[in-house]
Amino acid sequence: MTKDRAKKNNLSWRNSIIPLSVFLVIAFSLGPIVWQFLTSIKTNESIVAIPNVYLPGFDQLTLSHYSELFARRPFFNYMFNSAFVALTSTVLCLGFGAPAAYALARLRLPGEQLILTGVLVITLFPYILLFLGLLEIVKALGIGNNYLALIIPYTAINLPLTILVMRSFFQQLPKDLEDSAKVDGYGTIAMLMKIVLPMTLPALVTTGILAFIFAWNEFIFALTFITVEEMKTLPVAAAQLGGSSIFEIPYGTIAAATVLGTVPLVLLVLFFQRKIVQGLTAGAVKG
């Protein structure tokens, strides 16, 4: 009887500690996001109140920070700039990366291992170290204050990761399917577009979202290569928000800007969450 009770106590303890651990991890992860959202809808008096107002009442809520954000700055332009640059670089990454990954997965290329090693090294290389070199290239080509100044570096930085991830998925596809397609008269490009890529859609979505998030959130290149106000991206615009004087920090407006910058990414991940899960799990399981 004593052993049975001990086993029951152990099972009860395990059943309670696991949900508690999950709750603590979720609270730790979502806590800053919730706090930022509450800051964006609290009045200025509630934001600077001591002690802190953690759960504001209805009389302490306002949407003035959001309206002020669009009234003071061309915030729609910033969002469009970020979306255009991120989407264009993502499409280019997939457009160049998928065929390159297929070639590395299926063709016997001379120096294939050397090419893969180079791609892996570039993936691990801190992109911030490329800053001065890219700055000189942008100046030499005269593409400063141009979308190309961001699209080209973002594409180049995300391309190696796209190639590595897509190559692993192409290697898992049965080669007999491609042989059958060739017998049916499909060329390499037609087979890649109509048969192979649709089968790797989860991988395309996963790598595409990773590339999009990087381009959407990138700050250093966007801050340096774009100085024209109407062409700035969202992270740069949010970082440069100021108050009515140099002594004022508009916490509510900054919080509203960060919320608006995060919402599109959250919606994107929620919309494609099933494909993302399939892409992440398929890479670890061989059929």
Residues present in the chain in total: 287
**Buried b / exposed e across 129-151, counting CB within 10 Å, b at 16+?**
ebeeebeeebeeeebeebbebbb
Name the pLDDT band for 286 (thresholds 50, 70, 90).
very low
Quick one: pLDDT at residue 246? 62
Quick one: pLDDT at residue 59? 78
pTM for the whole thing? 0.82
Name the pLDDT band for 90 (thresholds 50, 70, 90).
very high
DSSP states along 237-251: HHHT---SSTT---H
User: For residues 117 and 233, which has the higher predicted lDDT (pLDDT)?
Assistant: 233
Structure letter (DSSP) for residue 73:
S
pLDDT at 69 over 60: yes
pLDDT at 139 over 80: yes
Quick one: pLDDT at residue 4? 56
Q: Determine which of 8-12, 30-34, 37-41, 218-222 has the lowest per-residue pLDDT on average.
A: 8-12
Q: Determine which of 68-82, 99-113, 235-249 has the lowest per-residue pLDDT on average.
A: 235-249
The first and second tokens of residue 54, run together, are: 């953690």
Residue given tokens 């969202």 in the structure block = 234
User: For residues 5 and 136, which has the higher predicted lDDT (pLDDT)?
Assistant: 136
Q: Determine which of 21-30, 45-54, 271-280 has the lowest per-residue pLDDT on average.
A: 271-280
Give Rg (Cα) of the chain.
25
Quick one: pLDDT at residue 48? 78
Q: What is the C-alpha to C-alpha distance for residues 250 and 240, in angstroms, rounded to an integer?
A: 11
Quick one: pLDDT at residue 244? 56
pLDDT at 275 over 80: no
Are 222 and 147 in contact by the 8 Å Cβ rule? The answer is no
Quick one: pLDDT at residue 113? 81
Q: In the chain, where does DSSP find H-type helix?
A: 2-41, 44-47, 64-72, 75-106, 112-124, 131-141, 148-172, 175-183, 188-191, 197-199, 201-217, 220-225, 234-239, 251-271, 273-282
pLDDT per position as a tens digit, 146-201: 999 999 999 999 999 898 888 888 888 777 777 787 777 777 777 777 778 788 88
pLDDT per position as a tens digit, 226-263: 988 888 999 998 888 865 556 667 888 888 888 888 88
Q: What residue type is assigned to position 202 of the chain?
A: P
Quick one: pLDDT at residue 89? 95
